[in-house]
Structures are given as C-alpha cells and as structure tokens.
Amino acid sequence: MPCTVICGGFWGDEGKGKIISYLALKDKLDFCVRTGSVNAAHTIWYQGKRYALHMVPGGFVHEKCRLLIGAGSNVEVAQFFKEVEETNVKNRIGIDNQASIIEEKHSAQDKASSHLKGLGTTGRGVGPAIEERVRRTAKIARDVPELKPYLADVAAETNNAINGGKNVLLEGTQGLMLSLFYGTYPYVTGRDTSASAICSEAGVGPTKVDNVLVVLKSFMTRVGTGPLPGELSKEEAMKRGWFETAAGTGRDRRSAPFNFELARKAVMLNGATQVAVTKLDCVFPQCKGAKDYNDLPNDAKQFVNQIEKQTRVPVSLIGTGPEALDIIDRRR
C-alpha cells in the first residue's frame, strides 16, 4: 500500500508544492489527492514556469498522474476552471461529488468577519463556506451543472488505487500551527490541518497510510495575525534573504528562525515517518543547487543533523533551490 501523506509543520508556506512536484516526477505518482481549501496555494516551479495552485493538485507535473479533489475540500468553481486551463489537466482531474462549494457571498462574509475579529484571514470565503456546510445547507459539487463532467467518488478511486498497489499521495494544505484544534487559536484556519484530517478529507483510513512526510522550511514564515516565536523585523528578514510574499494572496510573510520545539510538536501530532526540509539554500547559500548530501557545507549538515536529533525522524528530502528537481534525496 504505497500511500504517502504530505503535511506542513509550521504556518504553511513550507514548500509543500515543491516536495509534491518532486515526488510526482521522481516516483511517477499514479494518484495525487488534494485536500483543504482555496485559501492556500502551492507554489511549483517546473520547466522554468511558476504555478500558484489553489485547486489543482501539485502532482499535475507528471502527465500520467490522476488528480483528485477530496470530499472534505471546498471548491471555488471559477478558480478550479482557471487552473485546469493553466495546467491542461481537463482529462485527468476529478472532484468528489460531496466536496462543498465556495460561493461569492462567502467571500464578502469572510472579509467582514475577519475585519471585525482581527483574525487576518485571506478573505477567500473559506470560513463561512465551512460554517454553511456544518449547518448542512451548503451547495456541494453535484449541485453545480458545469462540474458534472468532473464528478468522482474520490474515496473509492483512491482506496482502489492503494489496494491495487498504485503510488498514491495525499496532499495537505497550510501547516499544523494553523490547525483549528492544535494551532495558535483563534489565529487559525477553519479546519484541522494535520495528517489525520488530510486522510479524513480524502476518505482514506489510517491503516492505508505507509508514510507521513512533514515539510519544514529552514526558517519560519506566517501571513496575517497571530504569534510567531522569534519574529524578525521586515528589515532583518530582507537582510537575511528570508522576506517572502504569499503565493496565493501576495501578502507579506512575517519571518522567524527555525524553531525546534515546534518541529517536534509537528512531528508528534502528525505521526511523521519522514521530514522534508526546504529552502536550505536561503539559510546556507553555499547549498544552492546541491544534489548530493556530501556536497553540503558542515554547518548545513549540522543543522540537518540537529533536526533529526530533536525530532527523532530522518530528514529524507532537502530542498536546495526553487525548481522541482532541486532536491537532495536521502531516501533508500
């Protein structure tokens, strides 16, 4: 049962899109199932082009990969069609019949609520759409005529693929510290973001999962409001080369050094079997473009070793540049 769950360990922005695209190409993924919602984008650089995807799974880079959006997801119809066109995946993507729909009214409600409460949400309408779903009054995918050609039973397809020995990846969004249950409440998203929730949203039971890969960036960032331990000034972040803007919203990302305590928490709560570390080249510039662990400078190796020591989980993938294949792969 070759099934892997990808999840973020901090506040999102960890580089999950890069890791997903690498695994899709390297391992020739058969299925990639996206969970979560439209308020989070995965950035993928492939063949010199940048993609910021809110709906289409990052596994699209492998042309034979079946792409699915799980029942627990929220779908913004216009964004879905925009990305399908951009990535040219019309003939290999499906949406679960019971995925819920984000309507225009939800965005207006979200922006008003965020302003009043000071939560700093993206304003994409996710929270109000989830509220409506909980009240059991939401529109779902099977209620939208233009989605009819894409409707699927994602849980059945995914489980059949796993049972058939196919290579399956479940793709989470955001990071554990934005979890409604385990994050920095109330400055969190409207759902759980852990590996367990990813499985639930995709319709895959825990016994079907072989690997849980937690993605950690070599420094931390978060957008919006809420605590960020060790936060740096914008000036200091720019000086270090750690200043970023969010792929989905264009908002400034606040920055802070890597936090080992939070890394341990993320590994524990997600039940991680492996860790991926991204943007090592942003902290140790000599690492840029490296493909072999032995080519890393000693201080970079010490950093990776410290992550393994603190989390007690192997660092199997290391990102050393923006392109999908800028990876040191330490898996056996």
**Are the C-beta atoms of 41 and 52 separated by less than 8 Å?**
yes
Under DSSP, the state recorded for 205 is -
Query: Domain 3-329's class?
Result: alpha beta
pLDDT of 53 reads: 95
Local structure of residue 177 (DSSP, 8 states) = G
Could you please report the per-residue DSSP string of 89-155? -TTSEEEETT-EE--HHHHHHHHHHHHHHT-----SSHHHHHHHHHTT---BGGG-GGGGGGEE-HH
Element (H, E) at 52: strand 49-53
Q: Which of 30, 42, 110, 192 is catalytic?
A: 42
Query: Is there a catalytic annotation at residue 42?
Result: yes
Listed by start position, the domains of the chain span 3-329
Percent helix / strand / coil, the chain, rounded to 5:
35, 20, 40
Two tokens at 266?
Answer: 């993320």
Which pLDDT score is estimated for 39? 79
- Residue 2 burial (10 A CB sphere; 0-12, 13-18, 19+): middle
Q: Count of residues for the chain? A: 332
HSE toward the beta carbon, residue 122, CA cutoff 13 A: 23
Residue 122, pLDDT score: 67
Longest Cα separation, the chain? 57
Q: Which of 13, 30, 110, 326 is catalytic?
A: 13
Would you state the torsion angle of the CA atoms of residues 79, 85, 89, 91, taken in this order, to the nearest 10 degrees? 100
Can you tell me the distance from the alpha carbon of 332 to that of 329, in angstroms, rounded to the nearest whole number? 9
pLDDT tens over the chain, length 332 residues: 489 999 999 999 999 999 999 999 999 999 999 999 887 888 999 988 999 999 999 999 999 999 999 999 999 999 999 999 999 999 999 999 999 999 888 887 877 765 555 565 667 778 888 899 999 999 999 999 999 999 999 999 999 999 999 999 999 999 999 999 999 999 999 899 999 999 999 999 999 999 999 999 999 999 888 999 999 999 999 999 998 887 666 778 899 999 999 999 999 999 999 999 999 999 999 999 999 999 999 999 999 999 999 999 999 999 999 889 999 999 97
Of 38, 7, 222, the C-alpha closest to 130 is 38
